[in-house]
């Protein structure tokens, strides 16, 4: 019997050239992958920085629009409007510190006009008066001795809107008490464009003006290149102001924070001017670690409460 033919399969490995080609191809693929990963991480880092910059500026913008919209809110506004419509004021004199007695506009009888929250809320505020003859005269409410009288000091020259009163009876709807809350907007060269704004509103609704807790300011600081905030300050150039944006992370360039006042409506009646104001806020910022990352935001906000002055 013959022995079966044995089949021999010859195997051989990669040649040196083939191995080197494979290594080079692998290195190229690894390099491309690494490059894509680095680019992806770099893009992610840039996006994260951009997002944080956007969030920081957006936070400032939201805070400002919230405060500006509420400027002038006063817990006693409705009561004062109703009081002026239904009450006459009879004065004990025409100058100096006098007593103003509240009278019912229909019966001319004494009425308890200044009871309740008004007893404390009117003290130190400005009493605006329009006599039937003459022009506007202002006075300062010194105290509320009882529910039907006010103690008022009539402005004397050279104060604004000086007395004496040409008549000692001021009819209903010819007087009001000026709202102690509002907006301080010190525009520089242009009175309607500035880098600081201070607003106040009746935060707790008690009708009393507490400037320590109900006044909020925003201004640009050129030294830190930051937007600063204050609570309780009525001056843009003094007092305690604190950085609202982080100068170690973001820089606000010169001109990067601007507030523009847009007076949308104004009516005048015998020197009493009512206006509805709107403000345009513009903020620009740059990452301190990467000046190529910048962001600009803007928003227009209308004051909800009419201002009288």
Q: Identify whether 190 is part of a domain.
A: yes
Q: Identify whether 2 is part of a domain.
A: no
Q: Clarify whether residues 285 and 140 are in a common domain.
A: no
Rg (alpha carbons) of the chain, rounded to whole number:
35
Q: Clarify whether residues 136 and 246 are in a common domain.
A: no
User: How many structural domains are present in the chain?
Assistant: 2
Instruction: List pLDDT tens digits, range 201-257.
Output: 999 999 998 878 899 999 999 999 999 999 999 999 999 999 999 999 999 999 999
Q: Clarify whether residues 210 and 66 are in a common domain.
A: yes
Which residue reads 């019997």 in tokens? 1
Contact assessment for residue 72 and residue 181, using Cβ atoms and an 8 Å cutoff: yes
Q: Which of 177, 208, 226 is at the close of a domain?
A: 177
Q: Clarify whether residues 302 and 197 are in a common domain.
A: yes
Q: Identify whether 16 is part of a domain.
A: no
Q: Clarify whether residues 185 and 298 are in a common domain.
A: yes
Overall pTM > 0.85: no
Q: Which of 137, 162, 177 is at the close of a domain?
A: 177
Q: What is the pLDDT of residue 19?
A: 62
Q: Identify whether 284 is part of a domain.
A: yes
Q: Residues of the chain with pLDDT > 70: what percent? A: 81
Q: Clarify whether residues 158 and 196 are in a common domain.
A: no
Instruction: List pLDDT tens digits, range 251-278.
Output: 999 999 999 998 876 655 555 566 778 9
Q: Identify whether 59 is part of a domain.
A: yes
Q: Clarify whether residues 248 and 288 are in a common domain.
A: yes
Q: Which domain holds residue 160?
A: 77-177
Where are the extended beta strands (E) located within 168-293? 169-170, 175-177, 183-184, 193-194, 196-200, 215-221, 226-231, 242-243, 250-251, 257-269, 272-287
Would you give the end-to-end CA distance of the chain in angstroms? 129
Among 24-38, 151-165, 247-261, the minimum mean pLDDT is found in 24-38
Phi and psi (nearest 5°) for 205?
70, 15
- At 146, the pLDDT band (50, 70, 90 cuts) reads very high
- At 7, the pLDDT band (50, 70, 90 cuts) reads low
Q: What is the pLDDT of residue 24?
A: 66
Rounded to an integer, what distance in angstroms lies between the CA atom of residue 144 and that of residue 151? 6
Q: Clarify whether residues 249 and 129 are in a common domain.
A: no
Q: Clarify whether residues 92 and 169 are in a common domain.
A: yes
Mean pLDDT, the chain, integer: 86
Q: Which of 119, 146, 177 is at the close of a domain?
A: 177
Q: Clarify whether residues 199 and 301 are in a common domain.
A: yes
Q: Clarify whether residues 104 and 189 are in a common domain.
A: no
Instruction: List pLDDT tens digits, range 77-115.
Output: 999 989 999 999 999 999 999 999 999 999 999 999 998
Q: Identify whether 39 is part of a domain.
A: no
- Residue 114 sits in a domain whose CATH number is 2.40.10
| Burial tier of 94 (Cβ tally within 10 Å: 0-12, 13-18, 19+) | middle
Phi and psi (nearest 5°) for 136?
-55, 140
Contact assessment for residue 164 and residue 176, using Cβ atoms and an 8 Å cutoff: no
Q: Clarify whether residues 209 and 259 are in a common domain.
A: yes
Q: What is the pLDDT of residue 248?
A: 92
Q: Identify whether 280 is part of a domain.
A: yes
Instruction: List pLDDT tens digits, range 164-204.
Output: 999 999 999 899 999 999 999 998 778 899 999 999 999 99
Contacts of 297 (CB under 8 A, 6+ apart): 54, 57, 58, 61, 282, 283, 284
Q: Identify whether 140 is part of a domain.
A: yes
Q: Which residue, among 220, 223, 211, has the nearest Cα to 193 in the 3D structure?
A: 220
């Amino acid at each position: 019997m013959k022995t079966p033919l044995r089949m021999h399969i010859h195997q051989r490995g990669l040649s040196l050239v083939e191995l080197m080609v494979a290594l080079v191809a692998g290195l190229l693929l690894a390099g491309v992958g690494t490059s894509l990963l680095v680019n992806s991480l770099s893009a992610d880092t840039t996006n994260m920085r951009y997002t944080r910059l956007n969030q920081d500026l957006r936070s400032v913008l939201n805070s400002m629009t919230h405060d500006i919209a509420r400027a002038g809110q006063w817990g006693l506004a409705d009561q004062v409007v109703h009081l002026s419509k239904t009450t006459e004021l009879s004065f004990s004199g025409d100058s100096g510190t006098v007593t103003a007695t509240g009278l019912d506009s229909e019966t001319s009888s004494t009425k308890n006009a200044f009871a309740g929250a008004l007893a404390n809320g009117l003290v130190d505020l400005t009493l605006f008066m329009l006599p039937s003859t003459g022009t506007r005269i202002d006075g300062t409410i010194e105290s509320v001795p009882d529910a039907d009288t006010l103690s008022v000091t009539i402005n004397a020259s050279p104060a604004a809107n000086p007395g004496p009163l040409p008549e000692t009876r001021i009819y209903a709807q010819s007087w009001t008490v000026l709202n102690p809350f509002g907006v301080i907007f010190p525009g520089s060269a242009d009175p309607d464009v500035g880098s600081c704004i201070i607003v106040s509103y009746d935060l707790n609704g008690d009708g009393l003006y507490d400037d320590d807790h109900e006044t909020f300011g925003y201004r640009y600081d050129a030294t830190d290149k930051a937007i600063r905030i204050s609570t309780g300050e009525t001056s843009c150039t003094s007092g305690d102001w604190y950085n609202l944006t982080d100068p170690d992370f973001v820089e606000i360039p010169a001109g990067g924070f601007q507030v523009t006042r847009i007076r949308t409506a104004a009516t005048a009646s015998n020197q009493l001017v009512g206006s509805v104001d709107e403000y345009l806020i513009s903020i620009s910022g740059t990452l301190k670690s990467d000046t190529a990352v910048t962001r600009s935001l803007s928003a227009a906000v209308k004051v909800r409460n009419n201002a009288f002055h």
